[in-house]
């Protein structure tokens, strides 16, 4: 066959079945290929051992598998692994495996760089280069699952979309990857174990609530006062807090699941009593919980972790109003694998 071979992972199961029928072969071969691709995460036609050699050669004549490869693995002294993942066009994204005593959490990227401009985040400094394809997101998960089995003797227990990029700005591909990850014909993972984290694009939160309200939602809030939020997340000028609140209320009405607010407390920015109380009021609208994230320095002098007293104030006020609050300790800081630090620093 002449011309460019098609990436086989862009084919639906039906297309794979008809491919075989067109070549006078049984349609069920298409199901077998689909299973190899999405259940067993095969990256080479030669792995498809229940197909004959001539059938594998036929596939290779017409198709490629544009899989990702690991350019570098770093391990933190706390056990966290960070992969630099090379895409088929040479671009790099990072993904992270965070082990605890009982869990293995995969943190995956949805874009190369990021569309947004949060001034405290290292990924934002890269700008958005492109969206990831569904299979590139799937590969990150499949690779981390393999590493979890190898390093920690258990499969992934959770997946969080908290790596590079804004998932809501690559919505169709994120949804398509999640459907491969959760489908019984794919990795078969429960959607309840998946958290999509967004900086808060109201329209997209509503769309997701309508179409796919099965996984968990986290919203990076960082301030419940418009002015403060606009100054540290400039893109939010187009997305007022009232619109965000309405979208979250809509999400809750559809899912009956509490939303998690991710929140970093910075010295001199949002460490006042007024900011803490604004958060309390914001949280009281819709059942929610707060995850206070430790700040991971990314070389911007404007930001520094708030004093312990300010964190205590937040915890105290939230608890007083029965709003669940947890403090997320950073993992993998020594290898720039923690929240907001993913910026392909160790590799070019």
Restricting to residues 91-130, which ones interact with ligand SAH according to CB under 6 A? 118, 120-121
By beta-carbon proximity to ligand SAH, the closer residue of 293 and 325 is 293
Catalytic choice (11, 94, 166, 283): 94
Smallest separation (angstroms) from ligand SAH to the CB of 41? 24
Residue from 173, 220, 236, 344 that binds ligand SAH (CB under 6 A)?
Answer: 220
- Looking at residues 145 to 174 of the shown chain, list those that interact with ligand SAH (rule: CB under 6 A): 162, 166
Residue 264, interface with ligand SAH (CB under 6 A)? yes
68 or 110: whose CB is closer to ligand SAH? 110
Residue 199's nearest CA partner among 170, 219, 215 is: 219
In three-state form (DSSP H/G/I as H, E/B as E, the rest C), the secondary structure along the chain is CCCCCEEHHHCCHHHHHHHHHHCCCCCHHHHHHHHHHHCCCCCCHHHCCCCCHHHHHHHHHHEECCCCEEEEEEECCCCCEEEEEECCCCCEEEEEEEECCCCEEEECCCEECCCCCCCCCCHHHHCCCEECCHHHHHHHHHHHHHHHHHHHCCCCCEEEECCCCCHHHHHHHHHHHHHHHHCCCCCCCCHHHEEEEECCCHHHHHHHHHHCCCCEEEEECCCCCHHHHHHHCHHHHHCCHHHHHHHHHHHHHHHCCCEEEEEECECCCCCCHHHHHHHHHHHHHCCEEEEEECCCCCCCCCCCECCHHHHHHHHHHHHHCCCCEEEECCCCHHHCCCCCCCCCCCCC
Which is nearer to ligand SAH, 199 or 223 (by Cβ)? 199
Active site residue 121: no
Between 121 and 142, CB nearer to ligand SAH: 121
Within 305-344, the residues that bind ligand SAH by CB under 6 A are 339-340
**Segment lying near ligand SAH (by CB under 6 A), choices 24-32, 57-65, 194-202, 237-245:** 194-202
Q: Is 206 a catalytic residue?
A: no
Nearer to ligand SAH, 8 or 338 (CB): 338
341/348 Cα distance (integer angstroms): 16
Site string for ligand SAH, 268-297 (x = CB under 6 A): -------------------------x-xx-
Question: What number of chain residues touch ligand SAH (CB under 6 A)?
Answer: 17
CB 215 → ligand SAH: shortest distance, Å?
A: 14
**Min dist. Cβ of residue 291 to ligand SAH (A):** 8
In the complex, what is the shortest distance from the CB of residue 264 to ligand SAH, in angstroms, rounded to a whole number? 5
CB of residue 80 vs ligand SAH: minimum separation in angstroms?
A: 15
Per DSSP, what are the bridge partners of residue 6? 63
Residue 339 CB, nearest approach to ligand SAH (Å): 3
Q: Which residue is nearest to ligand SAH (CB)?
A: 340
State the burial class of residue 256 (Cβ atoms within 10 Å of its Cβ: 0-12, 13-18, 19+): exposed
Binding site for ligand SAH (CB under 6 A): 118, 120-121, 162, 166, 197-199, 220, 262, 264, 293, 295-296, 298, 339-340
Positions marked catalytic: 94, 339
């Amino acid at each position: 066959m002449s011309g460019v071979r098609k990436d086989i992972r862009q084919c639906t199961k039906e297309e794979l079945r008809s491919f075989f029928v067109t070549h006078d072969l049984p349609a069920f071969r298409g199901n077998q290929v689909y299973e190899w691709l999405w259940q067993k995460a095969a990256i080479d036609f030669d792995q498809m051992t229940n197909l004959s050699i001539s059938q594998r050669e036929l596939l290779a004549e017409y198709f490629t598998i544009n899989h990702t490869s690991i350019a570098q693995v770093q391990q933190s002294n706390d056990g966290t692994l960070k992969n630099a993942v090379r895409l088929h066009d040479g671009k790099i994204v990072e993904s992270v495996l965070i082990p605890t005593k009982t869990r293995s959490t995969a943190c995956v990227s949805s874009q190369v760089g990021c569309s947004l401009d949060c001034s405290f985040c290292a990924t934002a400094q890269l700008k958005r280069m492109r969206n990831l394809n569904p299979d590139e997101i799937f590969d990150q998960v499949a690779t981390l699952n393999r590493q979890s089995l190898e390093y920690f003797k258990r499969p992934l227990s959770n997946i969080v979309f908290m790596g590079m990029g804004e998932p809501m700005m690559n919505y169709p591909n994120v949804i398509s990857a999640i459907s491969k990850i959760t489908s019984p014909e794919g990795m078969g993972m429960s959607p309840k174990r998946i958290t999509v984290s967004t900086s808060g694009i109201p329209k997209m939160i509503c769309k997701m609530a309508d179409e796919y309200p099965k996984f968990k939602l986290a919203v990076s809030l960082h301030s419940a006062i418009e002015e403060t939020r606009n100054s540290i997340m400039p893109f939010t000028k187009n997305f007022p807090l009232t619109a965000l609140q309405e979208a979250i209320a809509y999400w809750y009405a559809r899912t009956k699941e509490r939303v998690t607010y991710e929140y970093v407390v910075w010295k001199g920015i949002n460490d006042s009593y007024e900011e803490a109380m604004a958060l309390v009021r914001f949280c009281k609208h819709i059942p929610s919980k707060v995850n206070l994230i430790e700040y991971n320095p990314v070389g911007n002098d404007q930001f520094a972790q708030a004093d312990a007293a300010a964190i205590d104030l937040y915890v105290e006020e939230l608890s007083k109003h029965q709003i669940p609050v947890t403090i997320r300790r950073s993992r993998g800081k020594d290898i720039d694998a923690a929240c907001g630090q993913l910026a392909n620093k160790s590799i070019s």
